Amino acid sequence: MHPNPAKHPLASAHFTLEPLTEGVYACIHRPGGAAFSNAGIVDLGDRTLVVDAFQTRAAASDLRQAAEALFERPVDTVVLTHGHNDHWTGACAFAADTRLLASPAAQKACLEWAPLILEDFQDAALWEGMLHETEQRLQAEADPRVQADLEHSISFFRYVLAEREGFQPRTPEQTFENTLSLQGSVRAVELRSLGRGHSEEDTAILLPEAGIAFIGDIGFFDSQPYLGAGDLDLLRRQIQYFMEADFRILVPGHGPVGGKAELAAQLQYIDFLEDRIRRIVETGGSLEEALQIPLPAPFDGWLVGGMDRFAANVQSLFKHCGGVVPEAE
């Protein structure tokens, strides 16, 4: 079925809808919006597949509306790339009969986090306090890298406060092992588990004939990757898989649509930071010394995640290189 131009929802406050080929769209987080990650919409011909569900109901509601308007039918399946909550807590915006599908490890992570997320959402004072404190910090902050992170947090806190009433997290009801082919009347997609890397288990959604891959948080393009979870060496293997595979168009979990050049730049960021931190560890340096490493261009302009993201990455790599991280008091 072809999209109905009169119903084509090109505008959302939360994401941009970018056509990749006929019937395939990347949904890219819009700064200031409530998506906080990327998603995708794929027309299989007789049913609609959505990749990831954003972090908030507000953004996921627009995602559902876009998918339904594009192909004039309900969304059949939402598949999650992994279990980090910025990619699935919006799933509650989809219809109850829309299948929510993930790898076993991603399902396990969602089930573990769901009651904790719900408990936090019920505490309005918690979010109001964090919002007030962060707004005060932003007023006094001059570093644009820190400002970027504070502004992101403020936006998220405000959306949580607006959505907390009646919020009920939805977790994956079905799982798949290793690979799963979803065959529609006009195209097939392959769900492929790439195992532990960025998270406990990362799934890519592959369209080989179109040369398109939705790679979740294996990809952070033009933004700092988050290295505080998973396994760095296995993440490199995941990245190398896509560097060698025949996919021209890569949709990352964060940042703009790109390709192998953007993935190579991400790997260069990881290699640079690990090399500098390893030198510090091998000469008996401290974590505080590692936190002072200056990032060269273009990495110094990758402000998504701000300095908190940078600090988390440094700490993770410091441990990876054999350094001892002081316990928090």
- Report the predicted TM-score, pTM, of the whole model to 2 decimal places: 0.93
In a domain, 119, yes or no: no
In a domain, 311, yes or no: no
In a domain, 166, yes or no: no
Binned at pLDDT 50, 70 and 90, residue 78 comes out as very high
In a domain, 113, yes or no: no
pLDDT of res. 307: 76
Which two tokens mark 236? Answer: 């490199």
Structural domains in the chain (count) = 1
Binned at pLDDT 50, 70 and 90, residue 149 comes out as confident
Q: Residue 207 maps to which CATH number?
A: 3.60.15.10
pLDDT tens digits for range 46-57? 999 999 999 999
CA 173 to chain centre: 21
Closest among 215, 100, 217 to 169, alpha carbons compared: 100
pLDDT of res. 86: 95
In a domain, 45, yes or no: yes
Mean pLDDT of all residues in the chain?
A: 92
Question: Which residue segment(s) compose the domain that 179 sits in?
Answer: 5-106+175-275
pLDDT of res. 230: 87
pLDDT tens digits for range 219-229? 999 999 999 88
Residue 282 has a CB neighbour count (10 Å cut-off) of 11
Binned at pLDDT 50, 70 and 90, residue 6 comes out as very low
Where on the phi/psi map is residue 328: left (φ > 0), alpha (ψ -120 to 50), or beta?
Answer: beta
Q: For the chain, what percentages of helix, strand and coil (3-state, to nearest 5) are there?
A: 45, 20, 40
pLDDT tens digits for range 228-274? 888 999 999 999 999 999 999 999 999 999 999 999 999 999 999 99
pLDDT of res. 305: 63
